[in-house]
Structure 1
């Protein structure tokens, strides 16, 4: 059994879903680990990770719009130290997740045909986010 770690830095453009599938697949391939379990960990409380539709960009738009309706910035929040998008970003992160676990077979994450891995930025401003990848396998 072997394990490998990697830190992936992602620059976001502000709110929305940023596809990170390619750099993750490339890194998994580079490790030489053929079969195992990949864990992704987002080191932030105002961004999250998700697996979602990778073909039609309107899906990403509808997801972003849904979260705007579900957790609006216009509501009064006690915690607003970094502005009106601060607490909503934390709540959106809780509703999605900051970690994913994906099986790896034949040197590739096992994703469906239309699945992509995304960093979901919940803040208005662009941010530099760090994702820790841990692959355990043979």
Structure 2
């Protein structure tokens, strides 16, 4: 028989950048007492995203930011949607190019992340926001 558990996590962001949420997610998943299952994370916003990325060298995160700044620059004349400023539409494009949902297996009571993998919320807006994540764990 499968069981399930759900929760929401609020994450305050300082503005654009990657926020490591691995510990919060891992602690919640382990506290559910499941030995195996599947954890789904979903960010409830259109200008932020989720990703699994290297957690050892912070230069990886800075390189990702530099790449996306080149790929989708703020204030690009291509974009007409600017209701909340020059970073509005670029933030939506960035979230479209990344992911708003992740699925992570739970094996032997632990998230099956690799040695150098961390879970990140990626804030794509310049100013601070409070982001909400929905977590759903299905397993036994």
- The verdict on a shared fold, with TM-score over 0.5 as the criterion, is yes
TM-score scaled by structure 2? 0.97
Structure 1 residue 84: Cα displacement? 0.3
* 1:113 alignment partner, one of 101, 115, 126: 115
Q: C-alpha deviations, 1:81-119, integer Å up to 9, x for none?
A: 000000000000000010000100111110000000000
TM-score scaled by structure 1? 0.98
Structure 1 residue 30: Cα displacement? 0.7
In structure 1, the residue matched to 2:39 is 38
**1:17 and 2:18 aligned:** yes
Structure 1 residue 74: Cα displacement? 3.1
**2: CA distance between counterparts of 1:6 and 1:107?**
18
In structure 2, the residue matched to 1:57 is 58
Name the SS for the 1:119 alignment partner. Answer: strand
Name the SS for the 1:136 alignment partner. Answer: strand
**2: CA distance between counterparts of 1:10 and 1:107?**
24
Name the SS for the 1:84 alignment partner. Answer: coil
Name the SS for the 1:55 alignment partner. Answer: coil
Name the SS for the 1:10 alignment partner. Answer: strand
**2: CA distance between counterparts of 1:105 and 1:127?**
33
Q: Which runs of 5+ in 2 are unaligned?
A: none
**2: CA distance between counterparts of 1:68 and 1:33?**
40
Higher alpha-carbon deviation: 90-99 or 101-110:
101-110
Q: Which runs of 4+ in 1 moved over 3 A?
A: none
Counterparts of 1:1-138 in structure 2, within 5 Å, are 1-76=2-77, 77-138=79-140
| RMSD after superposition | 0.6
